[in-house]
């Protein structure tokens, strides 16, 4: 099945592209979610208009993304988690946690745009990439600290 993408779709294509997809993927996901329209003769004439509109929209989005990227590069997030042996966390810091804390600081960013290969499971400082636009990626500084009440109890017990 051939479809015309109305929005950018990860690992498939960009807005305005005509792509060939499996029938089920097109009918059950792309069309109902309004991410694409069927590529028939009538819709193909609309492609040129969509592409021109997409270029204008992309320029605006890129400018907004670049401005947001400069603001995000100055943001530092700190997470406290319980720590076990070898500074290994009992929980982990996920892209959802990062998105939630960014939202608390006034940035509305979808967790799927935060590019964590795997959740952060050790103490340390990380620079996590955030893909704001297909051509704009920013990095957010994430610090994971250990919450060590046991160590403090042992230290106070030893001095008492």
Cβ atoms 81, 147 nearer than 8 A: yes
Question: 73-159: CATH homologous superfamily?
Answer: Ribosomal protein L9, C-terminal domain (3.10.430.100)
CB atoms within 10 A of CB 11: 4
- Of the candidates 88, 89, 87, 107, which has an alpha carbon nearest to the alpha carbon of residue 98? 107
Averaged confidence pLDDT in the chain: 83
Give the three-class secondary structure for 82.
strand
In this prediction, residue 148 carries a pLDDT of: 65
CATH 3.40.5.10 positions along the chain are 2-63
CB contact burial 122-150 (16+ within 10 A = b; e otherwise): ebeebebebbbbeebebebebebeeeeee
Entry pTM: 0.61
pLDDT band at 152 (very low <50, low <70, confident <90, very high): very low
Asked whether the predicted pLDDT for residue 82 surpasses 90, the reply is no
29-78 residue pLDDT tens: 999 998 998 888 778 777 777 677 778 888 888 888 888 888 888 888 89
Asked whether the predicted pLDDT for residue 22 surpasses 90, the reply is yes
Which range, 23-32, 59-68, 82-91, has the best average confidence (pLDDT)?
23-32
* CATH architecture for segment(s) 2-63: 3-Layer(aba) Sandwich (3.40)
């Amino acid at each position: 099945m051939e479809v015309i993408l109305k929005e950018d779709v990860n690992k498939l294509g960009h807005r305005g592209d005509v792509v060939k997809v499996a029938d089920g993927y097109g009918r059950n996901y792309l069309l109902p979610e309004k991410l694409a329209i069927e590529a028939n003769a009538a819709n193909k004439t609309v492609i040129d208009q969509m592409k021109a509109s997409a270029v204008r929209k992309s320029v605006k989005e890129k400018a907004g993304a670049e401005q947001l990227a400069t603001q995000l590069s100055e943001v530092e997030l700190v997470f406290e988690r319980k720590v076990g042996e070898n500074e290994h966390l009992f929980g982990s810091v996920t892209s959802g946690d990062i998105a939630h804390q960014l939202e608390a600081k006034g940035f509305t960013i979808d967790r799927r745009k935060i590019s964590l290969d795997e959740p952060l499971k050790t103490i340390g400082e990380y620079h996590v990439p955030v893909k704001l636009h297909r051509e704009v990626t920013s990095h957010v500084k994430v610090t994971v600290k250990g919450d060590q009440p046991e160590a403090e109890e042992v230290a106070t017990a030893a001095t008492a």
